[in-house]
Chain A
Amino acid sequence: MRPSNLNILMIKIENLAKSFGAKRAVDGISFTVERGEVVGFLGPNGSGKSTTMRMITGYYPPTAGSVRVGGYDVVESPLEAKRLIGYLPENAAAYPDMSVRGFLGFAAELRGLSGAAKRKAVARAVERCFLESVLHQSIDTLSKGYRHRTCLAQALIHEPEVLILDEPTDGLDPNQKHEVRNLIKELGRTKAVVFSTHILEEVDAACTRAIIIDRGRIVAQGTPDELGRPLDEVFRRLTVPDTAVPDTVKQ
């Protein structure tokens, strides 16, 4: 049996750090996520949200520290860890020349599905992300909202136990935002979900817990109520508006 079925602790991050040259983008982050949790990853632009998520999903090798997903170390057992993860990268990248169906089929195949199982997985993801009307359309002709949902469907195709969503509501209109938040909430009942955002109302709308990060460090975490109200004041007090300034200048 896979270790992931034995315990509900799905993500365990310890002292995770990432440097780009002299710049410390992520500076010693530790937290855990259990199944049934939706963790909102909050922080101003450039605070290290995407970098952290890229280390969780195995895209960036960490400079220091470790990530375990379902008990598997992402660096030592990348394939086992990646199998458990569904990932929506920032900007919802997808192959522009493929049709929505072709793209989802490709993702399903890489997830080890074929034949009837593949067709079923694609149909389920299409239904869940409301993609029926654009199924045969090529991805470069999709509106931003549809492209986002196509990439989200890709992340859900294999019913992953861990979902990492980098700004899943970025660029969506209010209705689409609402739909995606509800979807995240629903998925969070059976999975471990981490999603990043800089929109504070999403914390209230979808999270069971929020982690606020600033300049690569966790500055606060807890349920939205624990963090205090109003949230935007808490957020402003804890973070500095522009984190694009190099570390050397700040010190």
Chain B
Amino acid sequence: MRNVLIIAKRELASYFTSPVAYVFLVIFLLLTGFFTFTAGQFFERGEASLGAFFGWHPWLYLVLVPAAGMRLWAEERRAGTLELLMTMPITPWQAIFGKFLASWVFLGIALALTFPVVVTANVLGTPDNGIIFAGYLGSLFLAGAYLAITCLTSAMTRNQVVAFILSVVACLFLILAGFNPVTDLMVRWASPAFIDTVAAFSVVTHFDGFQKGVIDSRDLAYFLSVIGFSLFATSIVLRNR
């Protein structure tokens, strides 16, 4: 655990030593604001809930999370520091988990900075703050799942742009599998059981519950499996250097 924290500390510090972190945070907050208040019609809905806010997260994260995570391993490869890291007396798993953790914390910080939305909702009405909490938790796990996938794609290449594109495509699949317009199309030729099975792989399906305020252990298990599987695959990719 000590090694995990040493790696995570360095990684997190490197986010904030470059202007990229601040640019990212500003863009993140601007986009959340835009989607929530303009596209999501937060005020026009006339309800004190954050549905307009969380509903967009699977789409918002589709671009933002790969952008935050694409450098994780690609940059180590490009700079040659991967060799340094992998010849230190640490296990690959400690490095993988440490770096993942640092980025996840960074995304958590970005998410936490959206607190004015919660304040606004509470000032304008009396929302169910339990539901809001569940929404934040689900959103954090959603970001974690995308991030773990980005770790995997980032480990496969030394080119950050390639890592970015690959992870956007992979995450898009995870959205579309359970996205209503897509499942509605499939109804024509696929059996309902098949559609349900495909949808069970989708982040949308598992994020829905959190938005309704339900913290279901199956949804948690889903996100943790995506994270666990992706990080495990990352370790295999890194071993075959």
Interface of A with B (CB < 8 Å)?
54, 57-61, 78-79, 82-83, 85, 87, 89-91, 93-98, 102, 106-107, 109-112, 138, 151, 154
Residue-wise interface mask of B (91-129) relative to A, using a CB-CB cutoff of 8 A (1 in contact, 0 not): 100000000000000000000000000000000000000
Query: Closest approach, in angstroms, between the C-beta of A73 and any C-beta of chain B?
Result: 15
Closest CB pairs A-B (n = 5): A93-B80, A82-B89, A57-B87, A83-B89, A110-B88
Number of interface residues of B (CB under 8 A): 21
B17 touches A97 (CB 8 A): yes
B18 lies within 8 A of A59 (CB): no
A-B contact count (CB 8 A): 63
Is residue B169 within 8 Å, beta carbon to beta carbon, of the partner chain? no
- Contact: B87 with A110, CB < 8 Å? no
Q: How far is the CA of A95 from the CA of B79 in the complex (A)?
A: 7
Contact of B83 among A54, A82, A97, A154 (CB under 8 A): A54
With known contacts A60-B241, A109-B6, A98–B88 Cβ distance under 8 A = no
Contact of B86 among A59, A85, A94, A138 (CB under 8 A): A59
Q: How far apart are the CA atoms of A83 and B83 in the complex, in Å? A: 15
Docked-complex contact B79 and A110, CB < 8 angstroms: no
**Are B88 and A93 interface neighbours, CB within 8 A?**
no
> What is the 8 Å Cβ interface bit string for chain B, positions 60-97, against chain A (1 contact, 0 not)?
00000000000000000001110110111111000000
- B3 contacts across to A, CB distance below 8 A: 110
New A-B pairs, 9, CB < 8 Å, besides A79-B91, A95-B14, A151-B84: A79-B89, A93-B80, A93-B84, A95-B79, A97-B18, A98-B10, A106-B6, A112-B89, A154-B84
Which residues of B sit under 8 angstroms from A57, Cβ to Cβ? 87
Which residues of B line the A interface, CB within 8 A?
A: 3, 6-7, 10, 13-14, 17-18, 79-81, 83-84, 86-91, 239, 241
Give B7 Cβ to nearest chain A Cβ, in Å: 8
Q: Is the interface of B mostly helix, strand, loop or mixed?
A: helix
Give Cα distance in the complex from A167 to B193, angstroms: 62
Bound Cα distance A95, B89 (Å): 18
| Contact yes or no, A97 B14, CB < 8 A | yes
Closest to B86 in A: A59
A18, chain B: closest CB distance, angstroms: 12
Closest to A106 in B: B10
Residue pair B89, A110 in contact (C-beta under 8 Å): yes
**Beta-carbon contact of B87 and A82 below 8 Å:** yes
Closest-by-CB residue of B relative to A82 is B89
Complex CA–CA separation, A151 to B79 (angstroms): 13
Residue of A nearest to B91 (CB): A79
B73 to chain A, nearest CB (A): 13
Residue of A82, A95, A96, A138 ringed by the most chain B CB atoms within 10 A = A95
Give Cα A230–Cα B13 distance, bound, in whole angstroms: 52
Contact A111 B241 (CB under 8 A): no
